[in-house]
Amino acid sequence: MSDADEYSGHSIWMSELVKWPGSILPLKTVSAALFTVGLIPLILTAIFFALLDGTQSTYFVFIQFLAALIAVFGPILIWHYDENVFPNFIDEVSDVVPNQGNLIKVVDKYERFFSERYWIISVIWTILITSALVANIGFFGRFGVTGVFDPAFFVYILFAIWWSIITGIGLHGALTTILCIRAVGNLELEIDPLHHDGLGGLSTIGYFSIRATLMNSIGSFALPIGFAIASAGQYQTVVYAAVAAYIGFILISFIYPTLYVNRRAQEVRDDVLKKKRQQIQNLKENASVGSAGGEISELETQLKIRTLRDDFHEYKSINLYPLSISILTRLASSILLPIGFTLLETYVISG
Predicted local distance difference test score (pLDDT) of residue 1 = 38
- C-alpha distances in Å from residue 127, one per residue of 112, 161, 245: 24, 8, 18
Predicted local distance difference test score (pLDDT) of residue 67 = 92
Residue type (1 letter), 330: R
Q: How far apart are CA 141 and CA 156, in angstroms?
A: 13
- Domain locations along the chain: 4-271+323-349, 272-314
**Distance of alpha carbon 348 from the chain centroid:** 31
Predicted local distance difference test score (pLDDT) of residue 3 = 44
Q: How far apart are CA 218 and CA 75, in angstroms?
A: 12
Predicted local distance difference test score (pLDDT) of residue 289 = 59
How does DSSP assign 280-298, residue by residue?
HHHHHHHHHHHHHH--S-H
Under a CB-based contact definition with an 8 Å cutoff, are residues 308 and 280 in contact?
Answer: yes
Cα Rg for the chain, rounded, in angstroms? 27
Predicted local distance difference test score (pLDDT) of residue 91 = 81
Q: How far apart are CA 53 and CA 68, in angstroms?
A: 21
Predicted local distance difference test score (pLDDT) of residue 14 = 95
Predicted local distance difference test score (pLDDT) of residue 167 = 92
Q: How far apart are CA 35 and CA 43, in angstroms?
A: 11
Instruction: For the chain, count helices (H), then strands (E).
Output: 14, 0
Closest Cα partner for 77 from 211, 177, 257, 210? 211
- C-alpha distances in Å from residue 38, one per residue of 30, 34, 66, 85, 121: 10, 4, 13, 21, 22
Tell me, yes or no, if the pTM score tops 0.85: no
Per residue of the chain (351 residues), what is the pLDDT tens digit? Answer: 344 446 666 889 999 999 999 999 899 999 999 999 999 999 999 999 999 876 678 888 988 999 999 999 999 999 999 988 888 888 888 888 888 889 888 988 998 999 999 999 999 999 988 988 888 888 888 888 888 999 999 999 999 999 999 999 999 998 998 899 889 988 888 887 877 777 777 778 878 887 788 788 888 888 888 878 877 665 666 666 666 777 777 778 878 887 888 888 888 888 888 888 888 888 777 766 555 444 447 777 778 888 888 888 887 877 776 655 555 566 566 555 555 655 555 444 544
User: Which class for 319: exposed (0-12), middle (13-18), buried (19 or more C-beta within 10 A)?
Assistant: middle
Under a CB-based contact definition with an 8 Å cutoff, are residues 12 and 115 in contact?
Answer: yes
- C-alpha distances in Å from residue 62, one per residue of 58, 166, 221, 225: 6, 21, 11, 9
Closest Cα partner for 173 from 334, 330, 20, 12? 12
Predicted local distance difference test score (pLDDT) of residue 236 = 62
Under a CB-based contact definition with an 8 Å cutoff, are residues 247 and 331 in contact?
Answer: no
Closest Cα partner for 118 from 217, 15, 208, 38? 15
Predicted local distance difference test score (pLDDT) of residue 293 = 47
Under a CB-based contact definition with an 8 Å cutoff, are residues 33 and 76 in contact?
Answer: yes
